[in-house]
Each structure stands twice: as structure tokens, then as C-alpha cells.
Amino acid sequence: MQIRRYKHFASVVGLVLGLLCAVEAAKVNKHKPWIETTYHGIVTENDDKVLLDPPLIALDKDAPLRYAESFEVTFTKEGEICGFRIHGQNVPFEAVVLDKSTGEGVIRAKDKLDCELQKEHTFTIQAYDCGEGPDGANMKKSHKATVHIQVNDINEYSPVFKEKSYKATVIEGKKYDSILKVEAVDADCSFQFSQICSYEIVTPDVPFTVDKDGFIKNTEKLNYSKERMYKLTVTAYDCGKNRASEDVLVKINIKPTCKPGWQGFNKRIEYEPGTGSLALFPSMHLETCEEPITSIQANIELETNHIGKGCDRDTYSEKSLHKLCGASAGTVELLPAPSSSANWTVGLPTDNGHDSDQVFEFNGTQAIKVPEGVVSTSLKEPFTVSVWMRHGPGAREKETILCNSDKTEMNRHHYSLYVHNCHLILLLRQDPAETENYKPAEFHWKLDQVCDKEWHHYVLNVEFPSVALFVDGATFEPFLVTEDYPLHSSKIDMQLTIGACWQGGNARMSQFFRGNLAGLMIRSGKLENKKVIDCLYTCKEGLDVQLPEEVASAVKVAFNPNQSSLTVEGDDIEAFDKVMQHISYLNSRQFPTPGIRHLRVSTTVKCFNEETCILVPEAAGYVMVLQPEEPKISLSGIDHFARGAAEFESPEGVTLFPELRIVSTITREVEAETEPEATEATEGAEDDPTVQETVVSEEIMHNLDTCEVTALGDELDGEHETLEVDQAQVQQRGLEMTSSNLGLVMTGVNTMANYEQVLHLIRYKNWHTEALFDRKFKLFCSELNGRYISNDFKVEVNVIHTANPMDHANNAMVQPNFISPVHHASVDLSGHNLVNAHQASVVPSAATIVIVVCVSFLVFMIILGVFRIRSAHQRTMRDTEGGKENEMDWDDSALTITVNPMETYEDQHSSEEEEEEEEESEEGEEEDDITSAESESSEDEEAGEPEDQQGASRQQQLEWDDSTLTY
């Protein structure tokens, strides 16, 4: 019986286990969900529901049948769809499962969509099932499907006119096909709602009409005596019937009888620096009064002779300009701006004080000698001489521009460039040769430019026996060449002079020049090409025109070489007007010369009989170049730090400007917004021009051309100290560097960033630091050859001398205890930045000893003052209370003096250290110098504080604790 029960039980258990295994097998998540590969959707701007085609449905084969033969099967989560995942950055949509069992979902917008910002959205979507196991692990994902959603527009914007108002001028008694055009735009994104379908004149009873394109014309001939000006209000409608948010005002002026001439010409045209090209005649047109015209010729002249060297040019050094124009190396500047490295032009008068333009004045009494070594005594052929010159009228005497002559004994001229009777003459005597034959020696050019009192650019390309002359970019051949024998051989040194010629035999100057010179250059070994010459001569300002394509073939435009005048020719009046309206003034200088540039337009009109039938008056005006916002170049960084002596003596040296920053800012005054409650106050101050203005600064980027580092105090001693910088890094950034015992000078037109990087590399080395305690340097940078100069950035470097512990036994004994607090705290020594200080080897310096002694003395004086107060207090009590002396004794049992723990500990060793300090003072040890140098900054700070601040500082160092003091 018992065995039967066991068999029955076993069969039941087996059946249950079989069913469980079948169920578990059915729950295995074998298949991935499936969705379509592409979906297309539409959503409206003000709605979040996306209409998808096809609908979003995910299917999963793991879902069992609802019914299996005779019994119902429970739906398992392996076949359910748990969610949809959207992939993409900043997708403003989300996907939601509506029914897990059917896999049905929907896509909707997270926030309100804006069609004007984005019309279409594309992203990918992926479905995933609910996984297997109790926690839904091992879920499976479908493939990624692409979803394209288009945002439908709603008519939410109204038309807006492009201009605030329109105006035009018509002649009376004439009907126009079109007077002017008004134009409105609509910000809606769809074609239907963004298009302007119609315009309408709102003002009633006016003789004008407007078509659907915005063109306004008159419906009848206008009469000047009846109405001189009409004011029309015009509105616009988009194709969604939305009206313009604001109507626009149209003014139409009526002109009386026709007068030929230029109309719409403004006499004063203001040019703001840095704004590119400015249209000179944007609304100008030629009125010909309907005469039959065959040709029109207009000449536009921009007078710039009074600006700089004939027009507005960059005021960089001539050497920098040669580099900017692509000239090769080897150019020597003979008239540089005065500097520490080029000082032979110091004291030479400048033209109207414009020293930044490098324009030097010679009045017939001044001349300068060029130092030896600047130019080779014998020029290597071929060579080039270039100069800017203003000279007028000619004189009978020779006037020397450049001369190389005997320094002593004789007066022979080896080569010279001079002016004589409006002739430009180059003298070039050959060196002695085996055969002393006649050779070309003087080249003469007769030029009007030499005597017209205007600036001109001269370039001489010498490739013996031929010499090519370029004046303002144009080539001139010599009209006369004379020959002479070569000079006799001699060992006499030569002297190069400018503005006169040195007579060695008489030891005096002669043949003085009268006029102005600038940019005198010599380039030996290579000739200047035409491209470089044109670049040097070209103005930074001038006239320009961008011909519209539709009129380019109907009108001819011709410029003069420096673009200060142009001629326009044509026979189509409309095309001619368009060209004139596109003529502009352009000044490419970042900081142009302010002032007036006169402007003239002279016009000739011819009719069919080839005669002048209409007299067009000359139109005259001027361009006013406004004052540019001047930049302020600021240098900043660490200006005071200390380094160990070993760093100065190391091969790397010490970096002088590790954190240097070069920043340039401009400051301008703008009108400030006035608060309503402040209106009354400002009305009473109308006479004050600064009431309505405020100062605004902004950072700008521009080039530098010079940075100079000089040693303050003693000059650099080349035997044991130097300033160094990696030459390869300097050349890599397109800069040049010269060094002397005064310091370093870096030159070249380059960005502030490149100058900053090179200055970071400057290192100071000193391999004899025993007697060195501090060294000071000064840095400044400039732009446009000194026109804008930075602040003087001064750096002081202190030398930290590490004493030998064996030299002072007392110091060596107290060293570990003294250093311990410093090792765990950050200590600021009078503003010095102690870098790489080896604390384990530092010994208290003389500065520390002096500080300890001073603090000890201060504590002593305070204690002495306390006892004096006590005595005075006792005397007062005796006077007021007679014989009660013993009743008010001073109780100092609770007297507490709180001092700095460091100072307290240092006081314990003050007696030893004072003795050592006295010995060192008598022997004149170097530590005394270090003390004065390192404590200088802290003394200055203390001297500059108010007395109350000093008192507060002392109170923090030493305070009374009177909480237990009794009287």
C-alpha cells in the first residue's frame, strides 16, 4: 500500500515538472521586436501630436497565441513591447507605448515646435521588448528605423516692410511707369504664408496706385503749384490675409521745371574708420531733362595731396613696408625713426611734428651722418635706392639727397643722388680697374615731379651700366648719360651722409637739400621688382567701384595709378547712374588719418550732333574721415619675483616674462540710456556734453611692429650676463631681433599673439651672481612705428642666495626648528614669488633676522608702555583718594599678551641673531643688501597705508587680552 502511494506521488511530481519545464521553455526571449524601416510624419506648429505613416507598431514573435486548442495561455512579457527609444541629438520628440501587448505606439513633440527655426526633423527610433526573467533582463531591441517629420506652418507672422519709410522725387507734368518700389517680408516658413500677395494704398483720394509687386506710379500728371509733396500710407497682405503689423509712410516730392545736373548728391560724406567701403553717391542720378543723349563722360577726383605722403598710407617703418610688400631681405633703412638702436636721426626736424610718419624736413642747414657698418662702403651691384621726396622749385645749386664721399683728405664723391634744376641725377663712379676707360658715371632725368612741391616715390634699380627709374610706379628713361674715368685707388675711408655731402678735405658739409625726405632705403645685391614697387607706392585710400553685371558692358571705367581719380564713360543714362551709385571711398588702414578729402565730379554730355548740348554743373563735396578710436596697448604679468642664484647660472637662465599678456583696447563714448525719473535732472544739464555719454571699452586685435626690452640701471655686462632668445623661434614667427648691451629689440609687423609668444621665450642669464641681488628690466611695444605705444612694463628679479650651513654654526643649530613652521604653511615674503625654494636647505636670511628683531623691539616697547600706564593709573588713584594707596594696587596676575606664535618663538633666539646681525653689519656682508632689496616692497606698502590701517594691522599682530583684567 505504501509503495503504491509512492508511485502515484512520483507520477504527479513528474507531470508537474514536465508542465513547468514546458512553461519555462515557452518563456524564453528568442526573437527581436520588428518595426518598419521608414516612417513619415506631419505635425503642426501649435500641436504636439505627430501623424505617422505607417502607424508606429512593433511586433514580436515571442508573443504566444491567445488560445491553444482547448485552454487559454497567459500572455507573457517576453512578447510584450516595453518601449521605443529615439536616437539623435536634441530631438524634440518622444515615443510612447500605448499598448504593450499589441506594440502600438505614438510619437509626440516634447515642447511647442517652431517651423521658422526648423522645418523638418530626422532621427532614428528603436523598439525593445520586456526581456526575460523576473526583472526583465536581457531585453531585445529591434533594428533602427528612420523617422522624417515635417512641421506644418501656421500663419503667425504679419508682413513687415524692409524700410521705415520711402521717399522719391518726380518732375511735374510727367507720368511714370514706376516711381519707387515698396517691399515687405513675412517671417512665416511656408510658401503660402510667407509670400506677399498684395499691397494697398490706405490714404484716400491720392493720384497714385500700387501693384502686387509694390511698384508705385502716378495715375495722372502732377502739378508742382497744386501739391509739392504727397504723403501716402501703404500696407501689405500675405497670402494668408494677414495685414502688415505697421503701415509704411511714402513721401513723393514734386519738382518744378527740369534743370540738368546731378540730383541726390550729398556734399558732406562722413567715413567711419574700419567700416570698409562707403558708397559716395548712393542716390545720385543725372537729370538730362529728356534731351537725346549720345554719350556721357564724368571725371571723379579725390584730392588727397595734403594727407601724409600724398595720400593715406601705413606709417610702418619703411623696412616693415618692404617686408609686407614681399621684398627680399637685405634692405637697409637710412632714415629710421629715432630709437636706441638707430639714433642718428635724433634731432632732425620732422614735417609738422608727424614723427610717426617718418617724414623728415631739411631746410638747407641740416644733414646727418650714417654710422659706419649700416651700409657697405662699396655697394654690391645690382642695387636699389628708393626714397619718398617732396621738393620744389628748382635752384641753381646742387641739393644732395644721399652722398658717399671721402671721409678725410679729399672731396671725391663715390656715389650720390641729388637734385639740380628740376633734374634728378645719380652719380656712380666706378672703382679702379686695370683699364681706365670712360664709363657711364652720371644719369640725368628731367622731371616735373622733382619741382612740383608734391610727394612722389622714386625707385632707382641700378644694374651697371643701365639704371631704371620708377616715379610713382611709372618708368622713366634718362635723357642724358655722361661718362667719366674711374676713381683712383686709395685707402681713405668713406662717409655716407643724408641731406648734404661731406667734404673730407674741408671737413664740412656742402650742397644742402631743401625739402622733405622719407623712407630712404638701400638694397644691395638685388633689384626691386615692379610688383614690390607698386605695393610701396599704392595708397591705402582711394576710389573704388564694383560694376553691376547688367551694366558692365555698357559703361567703361578707368582709374589713375593711385586710384585718386576715375573716369566713367557711357551712353545709357540708367546704366551710367547705376555705376555712379556704386562708386565708393575705401580706406583700408585700421587707424586712418582723420580729416577732409575734397571730392569733385565734372561731367560732359554730348548729343547727336557731337556737340555739348547740356551744361552739367560741377558737383563738389568732401569726404570727412572721422577720428579713429585710438587703441590702448596694455602689457601685464608678473612684475616682481625671486629666483635662486643657481637658476640664473644654469644654461636655461630665468624667464623674464613667463605670464606676459598683451591686450589692446579701444574706448569710445556712446549715448547713455536716460531713465525716465532722471529726465528732469538731465534737462538742467544740457550744456554739459558728457551727461548723455558713457564710456565703453572693448578689446581689439591689431599688429605690433616693435617690442623693446631694456635693462634698467647698469647696462648689460657681456662678460657675465646676457639676454637670450631662441633665434629659430623668432624667425619662425617672422620677426627680427637685434641685441646690444642695452637690451633686445624685436621688429617686424606681426600679430600681438606672435610677439607675446616670442617675449615668453626671453631668458636672463648671469653666471656671476655673488654680487647680484636684484635686476630690473623694462618692456614696451609699439604699433605703426611709434604712433601707438604701450605702457612701460617693468620687471624686478631678485636673487635668492642660499647660505652654507657650515659658515654659521648658530644658524645651523636653530635651522630645523626655524624651518618647520614654514614647511607647513604658505609664506609670502613681501610680495616675492619664491619658486623652487628648497626648504630643507634654507637658512634664515638677514631680512628674517631684522624682522624678528623689530618684532621683539615692538613687544618690548608695548610692555614698557603698559607699565607706564600702570604707574600713571596708580598716581591718579593716589591723587583722588588720598591715603588709599594700598586699596587699588595693580593686579597683573591676569595680564595676558597675545602675540604671533612665530614671533614668540623667534624672540627666544633674538639675542643670538642680533649678535650675528651686528657682526655681519660691521663686516659688510651681502645679506644686508638682500635685506634692503627684499623688504623694499613691504616698506612701501606700509608707508602708503593710512595711520588707522597701520594701527589696525599692529593690533592684529599684538592684542591685549583684558577679559580678566581687574581694576
Task: Supply φ then ψ for residue 817, to 5 degrees.
Answer: -65, -35
CA angle 82, 87, 92 (to 5 degrees): 95
The whole-number pLDDT of residue 317 equals 74
In contact, 565 and 302? CB cutoff 8 Å: yes
Q: How many CB atoms lie within 10 A of CB 36?
A: 18
- For the segment 58-75, the average pLDDT, to the nearest whole number, is 54
Q: Is a pLDDT exceeding 60 seen at residue 603?
A: yes
- For the segment 645-653, the average pLDDT, to the nearest whole number, is 89
Q: 11 or 654: whose pLDDT is higher?
A: 654
- For the segment 75-82, the average pLDDT, to the nearest whole number, is 68
Cα separation of 703 and 657, whole Å?
20
Q: What is the DSSP letter of 62?
A: T
Q: Which of 134-143, 211-220, 377-386, 392-401 shows the lowest mean pLDDT across its residues?
A: 134-143
The whole-number pLDDT of residue 51 equals 84
| Tens digits of residue pLDDT in 816-830 | 333 333 333 333 333
The whole-number pLDDT of residue 778 equals 94
Q: Quickly count helices (H) and strands (E) in the chain.
A: 16, 61
Residue type, 173: G
In contact, 457 and 388? CB cutoff 8 Å: yes
Tell me the Ramachandran region of residue 103: left when phi exceeds 0, alpha when psi lies from -120 to 50, beta otherwise. left
| Tens digits of residue pLDDT in 413-437 | 888 999 998 899 999 887 766 566 7
Domain extent listing, the chain: 38-66+75-152, 160-255, 261-304+554-625, 318-537, 632-669+695-800
The whole-number pLDDT of residue 812 equals 34
Q: What DSSP line would sit under 68-134, residue for residue?
A: ETTEEPPPPGGGSEEEEEEESTT--EEEEEEETTTTEEEEEESS---TTT-SEEEEEEEEEE--BTT
- Which positions ≥6 away from 162 have C-beta within 8 Å? 183, 184, 185
The whole-number pLDDT of residue 803 equals 59
Burial 249-286 (b: 16+ CB within 10 A, else e): bbebebbeeeebbbeebeeebebebeeebbbbbeebbb
The whole-number pLDDT of residue 954 equals 38
**Closest listed residue to residue 620, CA positions, set 640, 639, 603:** 603
The whole-number pLDDT of residue 584 equals 94
- Tell me how far apart the 2 most distant CA atoms of the chain are, in Å: 157
The whole-number pLDDT of residue 190 equals 78
Q: Which residue has the cell 512579457?
A: 77
In contact, 98 and 105? CB cutoff 8 Å: yes
Cα separation of 502 and 514, whole Å?
16
In contact, 227 and 254? CB cutoff 8 Å: yes
Using omega within 30 degrees of 0 as the cis cutoff, is the peptide bond preceding 465 cis? yes
Cα separation of 752 and 756, whole Å?
6
Q: Can you read off the three cell numbers belonging to residue 363?
A: 631746410
The whole-number pLDDT of residue 513 equals 92
Q: Can you read off the three cell numbers belonging to residue 853?
A: 628683531
Task: Supply φ then ψ for residue 551, to 5 degrees.
Answer: -120, 0
Label the pairing between strands 145-152 and 38-44: parallel
- For the segment 903-910, the average pLDDT, to the nearest whole number, is 41
Q: How many CB atoms lie within 10 A of CB 206?
A: 17
Q: Can you read off the three cell numbers belonging to residue 163?
A: 524700410
| Tens digits of residue pLDDT in 488-541 | 777 788 889 999 999 887 888 889 999 989 889 888 877 888 888 888 878 888
The gap from C-alpha 223 to its chain's centroid, in whole angstroms, comes to 57
Q: Is a pLDDT exceeding 90 seen at residue 637?
A: yes
| Tens digits of residue pLDDT in 184-198 | 998 888 777 888 889
Q: What DSSP line would sit under 650-707, residue for residue?
A: SSS-EES-TT-EEEEEEEEEEEPPPPGGGHHHHHTTTT-TTTTEEEEEEEE--EEEEE
Q: Does CATH number 2.60.40 belong to domain 261-304+554-625?
A: yes
Provide the sign of the torsion angle of the four alpha carbons 157, 161, 162, 165, taken in this order. Answer: negative
Q: Can you read off the three cell numbers belonging to residue 910?
A: 633674538
Cα separation of 22 and 14, whole Å?
12
Q: Is a pLDDT exceeding 90 seen at residue 548?
A: no
The whole-number pLDDT of residue 618 equals 92
The gap from C-alpha 921 to its chain's centroid, in whole angstroms, comes to 54
**Closest listed residue to residue 295, CA positions, set 611, 19, 708:** 611
Give me the helices (H) in 511-611, please: 530-537, 573-581
Say what percent of the chain tops pLDDT 70.
74
- For the segment 884-901, the average pLDDT, to the nearest whole number, is 40
Do domains 160-255 and 261-304+554-625 share one topology? The answer is yes
The whole-number pLDDT of residue 512 equals 92
The whole-number pLDDT of residue 77 equals 61
Q: How confident is the model at residue 943 (pLDDT cuts 50, 70, 90)?
A: very low
**Closest listed residue to residue 172, CA positions, set 212, 229, 96:** 229
In contact, 707 and 339? CB cutoff 8 Å: no
| Tens digits of residue pLDDT in 662-715 | 999 988 776 655 554 444 444 444 445 444 566 677 888 888 989 999 999 888
Q: Can you read off the three cell numbers belonging to residue 74?
A: 497567459
| Tens digits of residue pLDDT in 11-56 | 544 444 444 444 444 456 778 888 888 989 888 777 778 888 888 8
Cα separation of 217 and 170, whole Å?
10
Q: Can you read off the three cell numbers belonging to residue 112?
A: 511647442
- Which positions ≥6 away from 347 have C-beta within 8 Å? none
- For the segment 725-746, the average pLDDT, to the nearest whole number, is 88
Please give the mean pLDDT across all residues of the chain: 76
Q: Is a pLDDT exceeding 60 seen at residue 69?
A: no
Provide the sign of the torsion angle of the four alpha carbons 508, 511, 516, 522, taken in this order. Answer: negative
Q: Can you read off the three cell numbers belonging to residue 785?
A: 612705428
Give the global pTM: 0.51
Q: Does CATH number 3.40.50.1390 belong to domain 160-255?
A: no
| Tens digits of residue pLDDT in 155-171 | 888 899 999 999 999 88
The whole-number pLDDT of residue 710 equals 93
- For the segment 200-217, the average pLDDT, to the nearest whole number, is 93
Q: Which of 54-63, 256-265, 712-721 shows the lowest mean pLDDT across its residues?
A: 54-63
The whole-number pLDDT of residue 109 equals 85
Q: Is a pLDDT exceeding 90 seen at residue 235?
A: yes
Q: What is the DSSP letter of 405?
A: E
Cα separation of 113 and 134, whole Å?
40
Cα separation of 213 and 552, whole Å?
27
The whole-number pLDDT of residue 952 equals 39
Q: How many CB atoms lie within 10 A of CB 771?
A: 9
Cα separation of 800 and 926, whole Å?
11
Q: How confident is the model at residue 633 (pLDDT cuts 50, 70, 90)?
A: very high
The whole-number pLDDT of residue 234 equals 94
Q: 141 or 837: whose pLDDT is higher?
A: 141
The whole-number pLDDT of residue 281 equals 92
Which superfamily does 38-66+75-152 belong to?
A: Cadherins (2.60.40.60)
318-537 adopts what CATH topology? Jelly Rolls (2.60.120)
Q: Which residue has the cell 490714404?
A: 203
| Tens digits of residue pLDDT in 445-503 | 999 889 988 888 999 998 888 889 999 888 998 888 887 777 777 778 888 999 999 98
- Which positions ≥6 away from 23 have C-beta within 8 Å? none
